[in-house]
Amino acid sequence: MKVTKEKLHELIQTKLHRAGLTEEHAGIVADVLVHADVRGVHSHGAMRVEYYAERIAKGGINTNPTFTFEKTGTASGVFDGDNGSGHVAAKLGMDRAISMAKENGVAIIGVRRIAHSGALSYFVQQAAKAGMIGISVCQSDPMVVPFGGAEPYYGTNPIAFAAPAENEEMITFDMATTVQAWGKILHARSKHEAIPDTWAVDQNGEPTTDPFKVNALLPIAGPKGYGLMMMVDILSGVLLGLPFGNRVSSMYHNLSEGRNLGQLHIVINPAFFTDANQFKANITKTMQDLNGMKPAPGFDRVLYPGQNYDLIEKENEVNGIEIVDEIYDYLVSDVIHNNQYNHKSPFAK
């Protein structure tokens, strides 16, 4: 089923508003989810709506949060999300960081006590659209075996980066510190497709191609990914005085309680380090240089990091966004949720 961005946004906002979010907050969540779907990152798009709706309906996302912001230094601060929607708190926290970096050149804002916030690329693009470099990291619940380990400790703990180029272009990079994000497993489940045997292991620690048998994910590049997810957990959890490592709350355990997650935004204003226009010109040149490189056998061209998603976005803007039929059917139905996500295991089917 293909739908336009506008229609998908309307369906998501309506469903989340009916679940209990204010119309404004539902609209912001819809912004972030549609951003993911239009870029082809369906693992963080409309497929998440029913989970959010169930958690909202059961009280695990505060529908009337009291957001507070404490400026802790010239270029630092902490935004408390009061366990409201993570998408909303993360967006408002990035707004604060952008404002602070305009004045001081850099900003580091911790966003604490929030629910799941979706695709980090949305938030770093906020900074790039303002002419700045954006970096964001966030913790997630334990579902990854540490290098050499047999049981999960860290989450997928993603990292995102964006920088502005000329003509309102930007370069965006968003990655999980696992070989693949958990949402990709969920997307494979929704389409009943196999996964590569390098993504995850089953309950015996053996590689699996069955998304329904996944019991833990694998860190990207072995010990290197393991180190990166440790770094992210410290920056977005330990640094903000939040639960960390295998103490981070499960996405699917007790949907009536807030998750107390953390996220860290770093914004850098190029004008404090170089000529801002030249910076954008050099980012454009970087993108052009990479596209102009001789491709290896089997490749048509060299893409700069994240360009594959940029190309998908441009195509979907014109042709519409492909949504799995059962997800579309849920969005247009009168059902708020089907009471299917309140499980103790993050790997529940």
Contact of 262 with 236, CB cutoff 8 Å: yes
More confident residue, 150 or 116: 116
Q: What integer pLDDT is reported at residue 346 of this predicted model?
A: 66
User: In this structure, is residue 288 part of a structural domain?
Assistant: no
Q: Outline where DSSP puts E strands in the chain.
A: 2-3, 68-73, 76-80, 106-114, 133-138, 159-164, 170-175, 200-201, 216-217, 261-268, 321-322
Tell whether the model's pLDDT for residue 344 goes beyond 70. Answer: no
Mean pLDDT of the chain: 95
Q: Residue 167: which domain range?
A: 2-275+311-332
116 is catalytic: yes
For 22-61, the pLDDT digits (tens) are 999 999 999 999 999 999 999 899 999 999 999 999 999 9
- For residue 164, tell me if it sits in a domain: yes
Residue 116 lies in a domain: yes
pLDDT of residue 183: 74
- 115 pLDDT band, cuts 50/70/90, is very high
Please pick, among 17, 116, 265, 337, the residue that the annotation labels catalytic. Answer: 116
- Whether residue 213 lies inside any domain: the answer is yes
Q: How many domains are contained in the chain?
A: 1
In a domain, 228, yes or no: yes
Other CB atoms within a 10 A radius of the CB of residue 273 amount to 12
Using one digit for the tens of pLDDT, what is the confidence trace for 102-114?
999 999 999 999 9
Q: Does residue 65 belong to any structural domain of this protein?
A: yes
- The 10s digit of each residue's pLDDT in 283-315 is 999 999 999 999 999 999 999 999 999 999 999
What CATH number did the domain enclosing 201 receive?
Answer: 3.30.1370.60
Rounded-to-integer distance, Cα 310 and Cα 307, Å: 5
In a domain, 296, yes or no: no
